[in-house]
Amino acid sequence: MTDVLPDVPALVARDLATFLTAQRQRLQELGPDLVPFVDAAERALAGGKRLRASFCHAGWVAAGGDAGDEQVVWSASALELLHASALVHDDVMDGSDVRRGHPAAHRAFERQHRAASWLGDSEQFGVGGAVLLGDLLLSWTDEMFRSSGLAPAALLRALTYLDLCKSEVAAGQFLDLIGQVRGAESVADAMRVVRFKAAKYTVERPLHIGAALAGSDPELIDALTAFGLPLGEAFQLRDDVLGVFGDPDVTGKPAGDDLREGKRTVLLAYALAQGDHSQRALLQRHVGVTGLGVEVVDELREVICDTGALTRVEADITALENAAEAALSVAPLAAPGTRAILRELAERSTRRRS
């Protein structure tokens, strides 16, 4: 075991390409109409930081697994299919137009319908196509995970955590949906969404899955939770900041898109809690209005800064990073070099621009 992992994102990209090629060959037997469907799956998987697969691989190494084992990379890659599924469905629910600088899946299907002058409503076709695409990617998650060649006993141990991961992200998405329609303003409610929609499925559960594949004991699983949960929460709080203040050329989404979508983030909850009457009224009047112009977005950003909400979230991120580091420093890792690997992943998770 060395202190440096293999290039996990590159290996994941390779394995996903191999898996998609096999799926394309299977589905093309049903006729040419399926070609755009698989193309959409390929676009949904393009790019990204491959954090979930990387944390899964790190969990495997932390529990004593061989860092160079390519079978575990194959299983870890399946988590990127789960992530893509969640993003496709999330864009439908939020009415997002753009994902990673390209049309969101439902908008791409909508354009396909309109360009072909097909019968019916283009928007409805787009939503239907995206729902099915997300379902397909979710189905492929299990298929790819099980087909790695790892021992059945190892896969069975890890499937417990994969099942939890899928349930928790769906529950978190629903909590997010409920929060938006209720106009939830509580920081506690927003943090609950952070934990289940992002923290667990981005960091904690991938670590658990990798460790379980390697035969981890309960003590390490608990230690990975102590590290992974605060880090995952810091990851999502960073995402919330980028959703309002991020550079569109880097994030691949329009500036202030989270404000237009009405996401009830911790950042917004702090601004509402700490703002005066006029600031609260401005936020309540404009957040969630899809057609917000740049001038209004800039005004809302100014309010968020003036209320101290941005400073508060940045302080929370730092506190969560410190909690994760404290847990990591005492974690019973099978290979000491894993600590450096996890610190690097932590840096990629919370000190990012996209």
pLDDT value, residue 172: 93
Q: Are 10 and 50 in contact (CB under 8 A)?
A: no
For residue 317, what is the enclosing H or E element?
A: helix 309-330
Read off the amino acid at residue 100.
R
Q: Rounded to an integer, what distance in angstroms lies between the CA atom of residue 66 and that of residue 3?
A: 12
pLDDT value, residue 200: 96
Helix axes 122-146, 35-45, angle to 10 degrees: 70
Burial per residue of 104-143, b for 16 or more beta-carbon CB atoms within 10 angstroms, e otherwise: bbbbbbbebbeeeeeeeebeebbbbbbbebbebbbebbbe
pLDDT per residue as tens digits for the range 80-121: 999 999 999 999 998 889 888 899 999 999 999 999 999 999
pLDDT per residue as tens digits for the range 179-210: 888 887 899 999 999 999 899 999 999 999 99
Provide CB contacts within 8 A for 37, sequence distance 6+.
Answer: 27, 129, 132, 133, 136
Q: What would the DSSP string read from start to end of 237-264? A: HHHHHHHHH--HHHHSS-TTHHHHHT--
Q: Rounded to an integer, what distance in angstroms lies between the CA atom of residue 44 and that of residue 58?
A: 24
Read off the amino acid at residue 43.
R
SS percent in the chain: helix, strand, coil, step 5: 75, 0, 20
Low-confidence ranges of the chain (pLDDT < 70): 1-5
Return the CATH number of 8-350, one of 3.90.10.10, 3.10.20.30, 1.10.3720.10, 1.10.600.10: 1.10.600.10
**Other CB atoms within 10 Å distance of the CB of residue 93:** 15
- Ordered by start, the domain boundaries in the chain are 8-350
Supply 100's token pair.
Answer: 């990673």
Q: Rounded to an integer, what distance in angstroms lies between the CA atom of residue 269 and that of residue 190?
A: 7
pLDDT value, residue 2: 44
Helix axes 218-245, 338-350, angle to 10 degrees: 20
